[in-house]
Amino acid sequence: MLRLQKAVALGMIAMVTLVLAACGSEDSKDASTASNDTSTASAVASTTSDAESGDGCVAEAQKLADGFRADVELKAPPTGLDMEALKGKTFWFINSGDTTFNQDNLAAFTEAGKAAGVNVKAYQARGTVNGMNAGVAQAVAQGADGIVLFAVDPELVATPLKKALDAGIPVVDAFNGGPDNPLDGLFGHVTMDPSVSGGMAADWMLADSECSASAAAFAATVYQIQKEMGEGAEAEFKRLCPDDCKISLESFDLAKVATELGTKTQSVLRRDSSIDYLFPVFDSGVNYVVPAVQQSGRADEIKIIGHDGVDTNLADIRAGGGQDATIAFPPTAWIGWAMFDQLARGALGLEAADWTIPMRLVDTTNIGEDDSELFPAYQGFQDKFQEAWNAADGS
């Protein structure tokens, strides 16, 4: 009995120690967040000398946000392609998961392949590292003419990727980090600039709050792209409003998003009652943040900005629901065609194009009546791509 009591006592001490350690790390994280000096936001906009003053911050944040709300011009292939040489080739699309975004990109990539006479083979990794490795190995084994790694981190498939590169197979990575990430043998990137995206969200929060925002960004920081988005927002807060505003970067496990993100949101709101802006760095995450905010009883005080421009989230913004803004991608189909163009350039021995994905800040002021109004220049982009591919400089 005495032994049992001792064990219980030791267990309680261990639990208390663990809780105290966790509290300590939380504090230190906030401190490190506040002192974190990244320069990524410099890509968002030119620096201003008077940004540190309150008025300067409001003016610049407003100006930047207005700029990010503006229409986005169509980005089309920079040069033509030798379409005859492309015909009959086989491209492999290694798909990280089964989300609608993934599947829509695959469908668009396949559509572009059909238009160019290229066979497209898809490998569904189903969110597993094992599957990702098997997919790349399979593509190499089947003699692929090109491979797209769609949200498949090249570092996690290093072994089969080396075999692909040794075999001379061009590999394009998509959504694995910023456009300036080292290529390390890859042919090219197709991705948005996550630091810029984070900065855009920060500018919206700063402009909307007139530089008094107290915010929390939620990111699965194990993924470079989400980490850079969170850090981009932090850097922009620090650049424009270092004294009167604050933002903390909260990490969570993407594999447990459904159970963890809502709880984390409630904890963050309880920990800091001054928070009035939340930035989950992907729209699907907003779906878990909104109920948590509602349960906190502070839905009227807290504004939420997401990222991606998922149609259901856009509808929510349009309807005045829980989400207030998002950083939207152009139509998903365009991204699929851009990936195809990049890989085709690799397969034809051309130089890689700059396929940094342009983003648009969308809130109630510019959302319009229908999603098709968000990127009007991208209507019928497929014809523009084919015109560009068939231009005389391609053959």
Partner 1 sequence: MPAAGRVDVGERAAARSPGGDDMTGGRGPDGPRTGFGRSVGDFVARFGVVVMLAVLFIGFSIAMPDTFFTSGNVKTMVNAQAIVLMLAIAASIALRSGDFDLSIPGVMTVCAALSAILVRDGASLAVVIAVVLAVGLLVGLINGLLIVKLGVDAFVTTLGMLTALGGIAYGVTENDIIAGVSGPIVDIAQWELFGLPGVTWYGWVLVALAWYVYERTPLGRYLLFVGGGRDATRLAGVPVDRVRIGAFIASAVVSALAGMLLVGYLGSIDPSVTNQFLLQPFAAAFLGATTIAVGRFNALGTLAGMYLLVVGITGLQLLGAESWVSDVFNGVALVLAVALARIAVRSREKLG
Give the binding site for partner 1 (CB under 8 A).
95, 98, 121-124, 126-131, 133-134, 137-138, 140-142, 153, 155-159, 220-222, 224, 251, 253-255
Alpha-carbon dihedral 311, 312, 317, 322, rounded to 10 degrees: -150
CB of 156 to partner 1, least distance (A): 5
**Cα dist. 328→69, 74, 334, 356 in Å?**
10, 14, 13, 14
Alpha carbons 249 and 225: distance in angstroms, whole number: 14
**Cα dist. 44→160, 200, 243 in Å?**
36, 7, 20
Pick between residue 114 and residue 298 the one whose CB is nearest to partner 1.
114
CB of 107 to partner 1, least distance (A): 12
Pick between residue 123 and residue 381 the one whose CB is nearest to partner 1.
123
Tokens, residue 385: 């791509």
Pick between residue 153 and residue 236 the one whose CB is nearest to partner 1.
153
The dihedral built from the CA positions of residue 12, 17, 20 and 21, taken in this order, carries a sign that is negative
Tokens, residue 362: 């969308």
Alpha-carbon dihedral 190, 371, 367, 278, rounded to 10 degrees: -60
**Cα dist. 250→22, 59, 245, 264, 371 in Å?**
14, 28, 17, 8, 30
Pick between residue 128 and residue 312 the one whose CB is nearest to partner 1.
128
CB of 141 to partner 1, least distance (A): 3
Pick between residue 155 and residue 180 the one whose CB is nearest to partner 1.
155
Pick between residue 251 and residue 296 the one whose CB is nearest to partner 1.
251
CB of 160 to partner 1, least distance (A): 8
CB of 138 to partner 1, least distance (A): 5
Q: Beta strand 325-328 with 360-363: parallel, antiparallel or unpaired?
A: antiparallel
CB of 69 to partner 1, least distance (A): 33
